[in-house]
C-alpha cells in the first residue's frame, strides 16, 4: 500500500509539471515570433537621428557593389569627347547596396522596403608607385543615399546628400531634379538599374510580360 501511495504522488507531480509547461499552439507560435530575430543586421537598416536625419552606415564599404562608372554624367551636352592622355577621365562612382536587399532583389526582382543605395565617389589618381600609366581611385567618400521608404516622397524613395565629414543628412527636398530624373529615366522602380550589371540581368527583356 505504501508503494501505491508513492506512485500516486509521482503521478500527481508529473501531471502538475505537464500542466505547467503546456501551452496552446497559438500561444507557442506567438512566443516563437517574439523571440525570432530579424535576420537583417540593424546597421544595414535605415537609422535616423531624433530630427529625422539619416545616419551614415558605418560599414557601407562592406556592402555589395552593384555597379561602377567613371566620368558618367546625366547633363548636356550629350556628345562625349574622350579625355586627352594626360587628362583625368573623371570621378569614379561606386554604387553599393545592403547584402540582404541585394539578395531579396535577386530572388524576387523587386527592391524591398528599406533598400539603400549608396553613391560613393573616388577622385582619379595616377602618381603613386609603381603606377606608370592609367588611373586608380583615390580616397573615397559616401556622397549620397537613395532610400526606399514610404512617406518620404510620392515616389516611395528619398535622397540624402552627405558632405565629406557628415555623419547624417537631411532629406533632399522633393522638388529637386534627382526625383524627376529617377522617375523619368530609370528602367525599374526609380533606380538606374540599366547601369548596374549585378542587377540588370534580373530585368525582363523589353516587350516580355
Using CA atoms, how far apart are residues 165 and 191, in angstroms rounded to an integer?
26
Cα torsion 185, 190, 194, 197 to 10°: value is 160
Three-state SS letters, the chain = CHHHHHHHHHHHHHHHHHHHHCCCHHHHHHHHHHHCCCCCCHHHCCCECCCCCEECCCCHHHCEEEEEEECCCCCCCCCCCCCCCCCCCCCEEEEEECHHHHHHHHHHCCCCCCCEEEEEEECEECCCCCCCCCCEECCCEEEEEEEECCCCCCCCEEEEECCCCCCEECECCCCCHHHHHHHHHCCECCECHHHCHHHHCCCCCCCCC
User: What pLDDT was estimated at residue 204?
Assistant: 67
Name the least confident of 19-28, 150-159, 173-182: 19-28
Which of 113 and 30 is assigned the larger pLDDT?
113
Q: List phi, psi (to 5°) of 92.
A: -75, 135
pLDDT digits (tens, 9 = 90+) for 118-173: 999 999 998 899 988 888 999 999 999 999 999 999 999 999 999 999 999 999 99
User: What pLDDT was estimated at residue 43?
Assistant: 87
Name the least confident of 32-46, 119-133, 171-185: 32-46
Which of 10 and 182 is assigned the larger pLDDT?
182
Retrieve residue 48's grid coordinates: 535616423
pLDDT above 50 (res 74): yes
pLDDT above 70 (res 185): yes
Whole-number average pLDDT of the chain: 83
pLDDT above 60 (res 46): yes
Nearest to 41 by CA among 21, 62, 15: 62
Cis geometry, peptide bond prior to residue 130 (ω within 30 degrees of 0): yes
Retrieve residue 15's grid coordinates: 501531471
Using CA atoms, how far apart are residues 128 and 138, in angstroms rounded to an integer?
10
Amino acid at each position: 500500500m505504501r508503494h501505491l501511495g508513492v506512485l500516486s504522488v509521482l503521478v500527481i507531480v508529473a501531471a502538475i509539471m505537464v500542466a505547467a509547461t503546456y501551452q496552446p499552439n497559438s500561444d507557442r507560435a506567438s512566443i516563437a515570433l517574439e523571440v525570432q530575430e530579424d535576420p537583417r543586421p540593424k546597421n544595414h537598416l535605415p537609422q535616423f537621428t531624433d530630427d529625422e536625419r539619416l545616419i551614415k552606415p558605418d560599414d557601407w564599404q562592406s556592402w555589395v557593389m552593384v555597379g561602377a562608372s567613371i566620368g558618367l554624367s546625366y547633363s548636356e551636352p550629350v556628345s562625349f569627347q574622350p579625355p586627352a592622355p594626360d587628362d583625368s577621365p573623371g570621378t569614379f562612382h561606386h554604387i553599393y547596396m545592403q547584402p540582404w536587399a541585394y539578395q531579396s532583389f535577386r530572388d524576387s526582382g523587386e527592391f524591398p522596403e528599406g533598400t539603400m543605395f549608396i553613391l560613393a565617389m573616388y577622385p582619379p589618381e595616377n602618381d603613386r608607385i609603381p603606377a606608370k600609366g592609367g588611373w586608380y581611385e583615390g580616397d573615397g567618400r559616401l556622397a549620397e543615399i537613395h532610400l526606399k521608404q514610404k512617406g518620404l516622397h510620392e515616389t516611395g524613395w528619398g535622397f540624402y546628400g552627405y558632405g565629406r565629414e557628415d555623419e547624417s543628412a537631411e532629406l533632399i527636398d522633393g522638388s529637386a531634379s534627382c526625383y524627376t530624373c529617377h522617375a523619368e529615366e530609370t528602367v525599374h522602380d526609380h533606380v538606374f538599374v540599366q547601369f548596374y550589371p549585378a542587377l540588370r540581368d534580373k530585368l525582363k527583356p523589353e516587350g516580355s510580360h
